[in-house]
Amino acid sequence: MRLLSLRLIISLIVGITLVSAGFSYYQMLSEKRALRIDLERRSEMLGESLAGYIERALDAGADQGLPQLVQQFSNREHLLGVAIYNPEGGVVTMTPQLGKTLSATPAEVTKAMAQSREESSFVKLETMPVHILALPIRQQDEVVGGVAVVHDAGYIREQSLLVWRKNFFPVLAQVVLIAFITLLIVRWSIAGPIARAALWMHGLRTGKISFRQEVPDLEIFRPLASEVATMAESLSHARNAAENEARLREAAESVWTADRLAVQLRTRLDGGHVFVVSNREPYQHERDGKELKVVVPPSGLVTALEPVLDACDGTWIAHGSGTADREVVDTQDRLRVPPADPRYSLRRVWLSKKEEEGYYYGFANEGLWPLCHIAHTRPLFRAEDWQCYQEVNRKFTDAVIEEIEHVEKPVVLVQDYHFALLPRLIKEKRPDARVAIFWHIPWPNPEAFGICPWQRQLVDGLLGADLIGFHIQSHCNNFLETVDRVVESRVDWEHFSAVRQEHRTIVRPFPISVAFPADDGEQDNPHGFNYHERVALLRSVGVEAIFMGVGVDRVDYTKGILERFKAIERFLEKCPSYQGKFTFVQIGAPSRTHIKRYHDLLAEVESESERINWRFQSGKWKPIVFLKRQHSHREIEPYYRAADLCLVTSLHDGMNLVAKEFLAARNDEQGVLILSRFTGAARELRDALLVNPYDVEQTADAIRAALEMEPEDKRLRMQRMRRVIKEHNIYRWAGNLITELCELRLEVPEEAQEKRRAGAFV
């Protein structure tokens, strides 16, 4: 550190001295130039005045008064003298002082009379620097002589040197002071933070401090700070994982963690690689002015599948939809993620606006989404959308085949209804690949699914998979019934599988979940929100109330938001004592708003909340607060933890993770979950208050029951539901899904194996 300080001080001294010298030299030149211009201007004014007097005297025939005229101009500042010459260059008259210096006719005078114009220059007379201005004297347009005005220019050099001394030497005196201050700054702002960082890292290494408890100020070392923080977090997580694993072994518990998932998968995969295919990418790059930002879309899928990909250095294949996504990929459209600590690859697939409109917004979200959700919205099936859906599925297939080209025993996990055709397309080119697809939305009964004009192609595409996963058993049943009716196959109800074209597909329920906090003590507030904190949170949205409910949803017609608002209105009618006391906060992220049904729904939700507020609100209270924007999980969690109740009133939902997120956040073991019986979560969370969201009276009564429930009853219900979430968390979901896939007996035809060995699939 001493050597660094010495180098820094010497560099500062040399640098400041050179800069000061250069700046002073420039100032001296500027001053010299300004003084010369000023002298030329004054000399010109004097010369023109003198020439005018002489010409008028000659016109009047009074040339004998020229000596007296010249003498009048001899007392000007820095003026050496004035001389008048005849046309031959002879001296007519001259000031006495000038005669001592000027012995011959200046060349400027001769040139001025010859060319009949003003001449000016800086010259030296013997050793004296002077400025000579020569002007012709005219009489009736003829040059009859010349006049020379001579100034002493020596003062210009003296004043220029004075400027140098004033600028340069004071700066040299300041250099010592600056060097001393720099030494203090180095010790205070660099050496100090480095010492604190070293002490902090030592504490982390030895386990004396927690990563969350104390983070040193490394602001001035931004690049280093990021790496140090990442390393410290990794150390902290590794230690916590080891301690948690030891605690679980001691208690004979089998809670799944990200680390346990990674270890299990390394064993199950046996050197294989996992490839995840989804429409949404785990990391998105956006351009914000000149700044490049990394956005993590809110998705439980990223939480579940990142440990899987970390364990085997896998690849995530997704649609590149960020405005700056193309700027960061390599020539194969790949990049390593996560950005702070790259552990797996992200392969981006590019879609045109037409493809995205037809495949995603058209067929997937105006066709399959309402078809699979019984929410009384008519599905729209257009031939051009189906064409785009097929093209995009083929495009993703090409990307998958490129990624698994040289991989032995690839495992491909396809996500959701966007890629129903993908399993069959992959299997046709790589029969040796293990392919699973998880269908995140409900599967309707065969009569409802029969509405789709291309039901046969969709079912056939799905049956290309080795394993199909749904959230609950009834969706598995509906799918197999659809298979039995739509395509030629053999359904094995005993083992829940279907055989088509000599390929067996297993169908299983895998209820998805959330990441349950590994250690409640690590949370920001292990005791939950108290009353005062709830009041502060409500005041932040402009409301004063005693009780609070919360709802978190995309603004989608399947979520039952309008029915929820009607139930709140009915509750306030039936229980007027809660008017002015109960406020419901609806966090609603606008979704797919350029689809007319979604655009209209957003307007309906706003209108309904305004109508109910207009009817009941008074003073600083209103019954509904509608927060219409995308919120991060960190922003949402305080509402979960402060709420007396959470309303989940989906009209039809595959699972609904909001219910599980609410439970995971309530480490105070208080709060009540009101849950639609038409969600997949209702099969697991039996201690929630289950309601029919279409029954406004029942939901209103459930709100009252939740607010008036005894604290002990709340605690027991919350404990049981949190135990379910803890034991069946997102890591268990991923582990069970991939373990089931890896344990399947894969029957690859001999002909296909020969082609694979010969490279025919690549």
Instruction: Give kind and range of the element (H or E) at residue 136.
Output: strand 128-139
The more confident residue out of 189 and 333 is 333
- Does residue 301 carry a pLDDT above 90? no
Q: Is the pLDDT of residue 756 over 60?
A: no
Distance CA 466, CA 308 (A): 19
**pLDDT score at 231:** 63
**Mean pLDDT comparison of 233-237, 267-271, 624-628, highest-scoring range:** 624-628
- DSSP category for residue 586: E
Give the neighbor-by-neighbor strand order of the sheet with 582-589: 624-628, 582-589, 547-554, 645-648, 672-676, 689-691
CA 133 to CA 149: how far, in whole Å?
5
Under the banding of pLDDT at 50, 70 and 90, the label for residue 252 is very low
What is the spatial distance between Cα 370 and Cα 558, in angstroms, rounded to a whole number? 8
Same fold flag, 2-158 and 276-513+728-746: no
Beta bridge partners, 293, equal 286
Q: Is the pLDDT of residue 650 over 50?
A: yes
CA–CA gap between residue 159 and residue 180 (Å, rounded): 33
Residue 221 has pLDDT above 60, yes or no: no
Listed residue (638, 705, 641) closest to 670, CA to CA: 641
Nearest CA among 180, 229, 166, 161 for reference residue 8: 180
The whole-number pLDDT of residue 526 equals 46
Let me know: does 511 contact 517? Beta carbons within 8 Å.
Answer: no
Task: Identify the residue with better confidence: 427 or 28.
Answer: 427
Contacts of residue 186, Cβ cutoff 8 Å, sequence gap at least 6: 4, 5, 8
Enter the DSSP assignment of 648: E
Please give the full DSSP string across 424-478, using - where no structure is assigned.
HHHHHH-TTSEEEEE--S----HHHHTTSTTHHHHHHHHTTSSEEEESSHHHHHH
Q: Which CATH class is domain 2-158?
A: alpha beta
The mean pLDDT value of the chain amounts to 86
What digits encode the pLDDT tens for the residues 337-371? 998 889 999 999 999 999 999 999 999 999 999 99
Tokens of 495: 């083992």
Residue-level pLDDT at 30: 86
CB of 469 closer than 8 Å to CB of 508: yes
pLDDT-wise least confident of 105-114, 385-394, 712-721: 105-114
Question: DSSP string covering 281-348, please?
Answer: -SSEEEEETTEEEEE----HHHHHHHHHHHHHT-EEEEE--STTHHHH--TTSEEEESSSS--EEEEE
User: 495 or 236: which carries more pLDDT confidence?
Assistant: 495
pLDDT recorded at residue 170: 75
- CATH class of residue range 276-513+728-746: alpha beta
Instruction: Say if CB 126 and CB 104 are below 8 A apart.
Output: no
| pLDDT value at residue 498 | 97
The domain segmentation of the chain, as residue ranges, is 2-158, 219-251, 276-513+728-746, 522-727
- How would DSSP label each residue in 215-228? ----GGGHHHHHHH
Percent of the chain whose pLDDT exceeds 70: 85
Residue 706 has pLDDT above 70, yes or no: yes
Per-residue pLDDT at 80: 82
Q: Tell me how far apart the terminal alpha carbons of the chain are, to the nearest angstrom.
A: 58
| Selected residue with higher pLDDT from 471 and 195 | 471
Which comes out higher in pLDDT, residue 20 or 392? 392
Mind listing the pLDDT tens digit for each residue in 369-391? 999 998 889 999 999 999 999 99
When pLDDT is averaged across residues 514-524 and rounded to a whole number, the result is 63
pLDDT given at position 290: 84
Angle at 690 between CA 686 and CA 691, to 5 degrees: 165
Give the residue ranges of DSSP H helices in 709-749.
711-727, 730-743
Lowest mean pLDDT among 96-105, 181-190, 310-319, 595-604: 181-190
| Helix (H) / strand (E) containing 109 | helix 107-115
Identity of the highest mean pLDDT range in 331-340, 370-379, 392-401: 392-401
CA dihedral 87, 88, 94, 100 (to 10 degrees): 150
Distance separating alpha carbons of residues 467 and 741, to the nearest angstrom: 6
Lowest mean pLDDT among 185-194, 217-226, 307-316: 217-226
Per-residue confidence at 752, pLDDT binned at 50, 70, 90? low
Residue 314 pLDDT level (bands cut at 50, 70, 90): very high
pLDDT at 110 over 70: yes
Residue keyed to tokens 């072994």: 249
- Provide the 3-class DSSP secondary structure of residue 682: helix
Q: What is the pLDDT of residues 406-452, one digit of tens each?
A: 998 899 999 999 999 999 999 999 999 999 999 999 999 999 999 99
What lies within 8 Å, CB to CB, of 671 at 6+ separation is 640, 643, 644, 645, 646, 662, 714, 718
Residue 635 CB partners (closer than 8 Å, separation 6+): none
Confidence tier at 587 by pLDDT (50, 70, 90):
very high
pTM exceeds cut of 0.85? no
Q: What are the backbone dihedrals phi and psi of residue 722, each rounded to the nearest 5 degrees, phi first?
A: -65, -30
What pLDDT score was predicted for residue 115? 87
Q: Cα(73)–Cα(80) distance, rounded to whole angstroms?
A: 10
Q: 522-727: what fold?
A: Rossmann fold (3.40.50)
* Cα dihedral 661/663/666/668 (nearest 10): -170
User: What are the Cα distances from residue 47, in Å, to 128, 132, 146?
Assistant: 21, 10, 11
- How far is CA 180 from each of CA 172, 588, 759, rounded to the nearest angstrom? 13, 58, 72
Nearest Cα to Cα of residue 143 among 81, 55, 47, 46: 55
Alpha-carbon distance values, 440 to 44, 210, 369, 654 (Å): 93, 37, 11, 6
pLDDT of 537 > 80? The answer is yes
Query: What is the tens place of the pLDDT at every residue in 494-514?
Result: 999 999 999 999 999 999 999
Among residues 420, 368, 367, 369, the alpha carbon closest in space to that of 397 is found at 420
In this prediction, residue 308 carries a pLDDT of 84
All residues at 6 or more sequence positions from 440 whose CB lies less than 8 Å from its CB, including other chains:
415, 416, 417, 471, 512, 654, 655
Closest C-alpha among 623, 515, 614, 645 to residue 569? 623
Mean pLDDT of 240-246: 56
| DSSP for residue 187 | I
Q: Which of 4-18, 531-545, 662-676 holds the top average pLDDT?
A: 662-676
Pairing state between β 645-648 and 547-554: parallel
CA 259 to each of CA 182, 234, 250, 343, 741: distance values in angstroms, whole numbers, following the listed order = 48, 12, 17, 14, 20
pLDDT for position 71? 74
Give the pLDDT band (50/70/90) at residue 235. Answer: low
Residues above pLDDT 90, as percent of the chain: 53
